[in-house]
Amino acid sequence: MLKADIDRIYRAQVAYKETVKHTSVKNRQSWLRILLSHITAAERSIEYALYTDFHKSSTETAVTELLAVRWELRNIIKSLPKWMRDKRLPRTMKMPNVRAYLHYEPKGNSLIITPWNYPFLLPLVHLAASVAAGNTVILKLSEHSPKTNEIIRKIVSEVFPEEHVAIVEGDSSSSTHLLKLKFDHIHFTGSQEVGKIVAKAAAEHLCEVTLELGGKSPAIVDRNVNLKRVVKNLIWAKFINAGQTCIASDYLLVHRHLRQEIETTFKTEIENAFGKNPLHSPDYARLINIAQFDRLDNVLQEAIVSGANVISGGQRDRHLKYIAPTVLSNVSKNSDLLQKEIFGPILPIVYYGHIQEAIDYINARPKPLALYIFSNDPLFGRHILRHTTAGSTCINDAMIQIMHPHLPFGGVNHSGTGKSLGHYGYKSFSHERAVAEAQIHPLSSIFWYPYTERTNTVLQWLNKLF
């Protein structure tokens, strides 16, 4: 998109944000209901767009894109009256004459920059949160998913005027230009490297920012588990969307006593899931583009040359942007597969002997976006929780935490800042304004000038009393 067009949209939204700020809960619910109805009407077109961009099956699109968007929109529509109400806070004897409450108000004009890996889900859920909070929105879509963008642009233009919500497309130059403008809130989902650029640009305007980044999200497998069930769960969570999921397990930490059994089970269950040749499976997606294929192809070949054992998969086809679901062991600790986020269908296994080895391995790396624990021993899970840190944790399942309506989604330090989804998404795009309303008699009057011995007596009395 031309810079002049971006500037025109930006000026219109800055002028319009005060109007949107004063919209009622019914106005905002109405917009979201209409948005939901347009999504439902366009369901087949959305499925076709994601198949074109990703070779994604209609079932996978329904589960990972449409279902999650519907749940989020319905949750916001239902809960918005409660969220928008002032939140009364308890009275305190320290200030008995003061009524305290939190008042939620829009931050103003917002910028949402979304990635290509879930090109329908991520733009829509964050857009819904910002609209619910009463902001104007510029929604920057990734240029790598053009067919899905086309559908989003059509839906959004039918629901919102451009001065309220506008779609911006284009390569990184469009994002660079947007980041030079002053926004009241920026929400970014993507890599750590770009996240640093966004944070630096936001700091220039003292703009609040939510960063959803990635990292090395581990899964720890205890020895006392139903291994078949665990492996099937890991296969689904890792290889859905061809591994292009920020909260997918990036590597496994498995008790060494399970080595032979888990490797055999992975071979068997991957074949059960995708057939003898996953290339022909209707359920297995493709990589988004050749650049992603080449990146993953290089790190996979380097790992194999350095001695990694291919437990399952390893087949590749550049023309089809295809890498088979691949599981490796004996990966060099210096390999990029264990140093950088993989973001693809390659899963290295690291074996440990004692729980402390697994904990030390995790804590030697930046704090992950997600951490998964598989164990039948509750003490094992609690021990891992106490001695590690992650944006979110899921025990005896994988990736479901992002769909829970009452849980926040977000990272910590390297894996992100701020929270999204549900009430947390609404609050992210809102300013939580503290209000103290004095009733009957102003408390400050007891400290009025000139300070006298009486003032000191009151201070001493207050210190003793509280």
What residues act catalytically?
Answer: 212, 246
CB 46 within 8 A of CB 66: yes
* Residue 3: both structure tokens together: 């810079």
Strand, helix or coil for residue 165: strand
The DSSP-derived string for 79-116 is HHHHHHS-EE----TTSTTEEEEEEEEE-SEEEEE--S
Which tokens belong to 390?
A: 């992650």
Q: What is the DSSP letter of 334?
A: T
Q: Answer yes or no: are the C-beta atoms of 214 and 244 closer than 8 Å.
A: no
What is the identity of the amino acid at 110? S
Amino acid sitting at position 424 = Y
Q: Would you state the structure tokens that stand for residue 23, as one six-digit string?
A: 């919209």
Amino acid in the structure at residue 61: T
Q: How many CA atoms lie within 13 A of 181 on its CB side?
A: 23
> For residue 306, what is the DSSP state?
T
What three-state secondary structure class fits 268? Answer: helix
Q: What is the largest CA-CA distance in the chain?
A: 89
